[in-house]
Chain A
Amino acid sequence: MTHAEWNVALGEAGYPELLAEIDDPPAELWVRGRLPPGPTVAIVGSRRATRYGLNLATDFGRAAARVGWHVVSGLALGVDGAAHRGSIQGGTPGVAVLGTGTDVWYPRRHQRLGEELIEHGGATVSEYVSGTGPRPWHFPARNRIIVGLSLAVVVVEAADRSGALITARLAAENGREVFVVPGDVDRENSVGCNKLLRDGAHPVLGVGDLTESLELLVATHPRVSVERETPTLDEPGRSRATGGRGVGGLDDEERALIDLLTDGSSLVDDLVADRGREVLAIIGRLELKGVCAVEGGRVRVHI
Chain B
Amino acid sequence: MTIARSASTVTFPCDLQLMAAANPCPCGWEGDLKKACRCRPEAVARYRRVLSGPLLDRIDIMVWVPRVDTMQFMGPPGEPSEMVAKRVAEARALGNRTRSNRSLTRRHLDRLPETRDVASQVTNALDDGRVTARGAEKVRRVARTIAELDGRNEVIMDDLAEAMTLRSP
A interface residue numbers (CB < 8 A to B): 169, 172-173, 199-200, 267-269, 277-278, 280-285, 287-288, 290, 293-298
Contacts and interface: CB of A to CB of B under 8 A. Distances in A.
Nearest to B62: A294
A284 B161 contact: yes
B162 A297 contact: no
B130 A290 contact: yes
A269 B66 contact: yes
B161 A295 contact: no
Q: Sorted from nearest, which 3 A-B pairs have the closest CB atoms?
A: A284-B161, A297-B64, A281-B158
B129 to A, nearest CB: 10
Interface footprint category on B:
20 to 34
A288 B163 contact: no
5 contacts: A267-B66, A287-B130, A288-B130, A297-B31, A297-B65
A268 B31 CA distance: 12
B49 to A, nearest CB: 9
Majority secondary structure, B binding face = helix
Interface in B112-146: 121, 124-125, 128, 130
Contacts of B24: 296
B156 to A, nearest CB: 9
B162 A284 contact: yes
B100 interface: no
B92 to A, nearest CB: 20
A295 B168 contact: yes
B118 to A, nearest CB: 11
Contacts of A281: 157-159, 161-162
A282 B66 contact: no
B30 interface: yes
B161 A296 contact: no
A294 B64 CA distance: 9
A172 B43 CA distance: 13
B64 A287 contact: no
B163 A284 contact: yes
A293 B41 contact: no
A296 B64 contact: yes
B155 interface: no
B45 interface: yes
A222 B162 CA distance: 26
Contact of B164 (A268, A269, A284, A295): A284
Contact of A290 (B128, B158, B161, B168): B128
B105 interface: no
Contacts of A293: 168
B53 interface: no
A297 B169 contact: yes
Contacts of B41: 169, 172-173, 199-200
B91 interface: no
Interface string B34-61: 0000000110010000000000000000
Contacts of A199: 41-42, 45
Contacts of B30: 296
Nearest to B64: A297
Given A284-B164, A287-B164, A297-B169, 12 more contacts: A173-B41, A200-B41, A268-B165, A280-B165, A281-B161, A283-B161, A284-B158, A287-B165, A294-B165, A295-B168, A296-B24, A297-B64
Contacts of B63: 297
Contacts of B42: 199
Contacts of B165: 268, 280, 283-284, 287, 294
